[in-house]
Amino acid sequence: MRNPLLNWLFYGHFWIALAATALSWQSTYLNTGQTGLQRRHLFVFFATLGVYTLHRLLSYRRAGSHPTGRRYRLVAREPVASLAVGVGGIMTALVLATALPLRTFLPVLAALPFTAFYLIPLYPGGPRLRDLAYLKVVWVALAWTLVTDIFPLGFGHHDFTETGIRFALTLATALFFDTRDVALDRRQGVRTLAGSRPGLNRWTGLTLLTGCALASFLHYPTVQGSALALGYLSGVAIGWRTHAGRGEDYYATWVNGVLLLPPLALYLFA
């Protein structure tokens, strides 16, 4: 991607923050029928933008020899701007948080350990959460489910079916992303399903997304369920085309876009 705007959109984490926001909107819309954006949705956008940008900076600086992958080029070329985006995202999220009741942030607090210890060792000299065999994708899915589904509604007010669907969607997307990171994970000694059983990894992701489509179609009214099923099945089409030979641009745009497809279909058709 030679266009600076596209680089910032897809590699500056605005695309993934938009997906998180759209998923949080999907949860509130399905539960309450409200179509507008709320302060909680904006919190999710800026918190996601800040966390992902700072994570990328941290992983880049912690690498013994700076990685040269396309996803690291933006922080390598624009370290000050990237730091400003990351810190600015967190600060804006904190400002938005001041107008919300403290109890609403229990899901966010529950997600913090998965977020912080994903790259930081659990104890000095110990493993990171991502180092635990085959569980890297589970931590990602748990954090995303807590922040994009349970946080917008609060504990006790969410739909358990939608929560299960959200976990399956984010788990499937993380499984697809692991196919990109097989070489890196092997160098770091991280065991993943994509590295040991790539075929099973692929089919697990496809099955999860198909299950999301079926569960949504059966659980929601026809128009909403059909729109959501269309979004999840579109993700199946992307997952089917995902393999280790795909370049980083494909993962940054299309695979991240799997997360955006269900709320987009819901907005357009329902």
Q: Strand, helix or coil at 104? A: helix
In the chain, the N- to C-terminal Cα span, in Å, equals 33
Question: Helices 39-62 and 106-116, interaxial angle, to 10°?
Answer: 10
Give 13's contacts (C-beta < 8 A, 6+ positions apart). Answer: 48, 49, 52, 53, 56, 85
Q: Residue type for 266, please? A: L
More confident residue, 130 or 141: 141
- What is the value of pTM for the model shown? 0.94
Residue 196 has pLDDT above 70, yes or no: yes
Mean pLDDT, rounded, for 205-228: 97
Residue 88: the pLDDT is 97
210 within 8 A of 238, measured Cβ to Cβ: no
Mean pLDDT, rounded, for 103-114: 92
Residue 223 has pLDDT above 70, yes or no: yes
More confident residue, 267 or 74: 267
Share of the chain above pLDDT 90, in %: 71
Mean pLDDT of the chain: 92
Q: How do residues 26-70 score in pLDDT, each as one tens digit?
A: 999 999 999 999 999 999 999 999 999 999 888 877 665 566 677
Q: How do residues 69-100 score in pLDDT, each as one tens digit?
A: 778 888 888 889 999 999 999 999 999 999 99
Report how far residue 233's alpha carbon sits from residue 237's, in angstroms, rounded to the nearest whole number: 7
Confidence of residue 125 (pLDDT cuts 50, 70, 90): confident
Q: How do residues 170-194 score in pLDDT, each as one tens digit?
A: 999 999 999 998 988 888 889 999 9
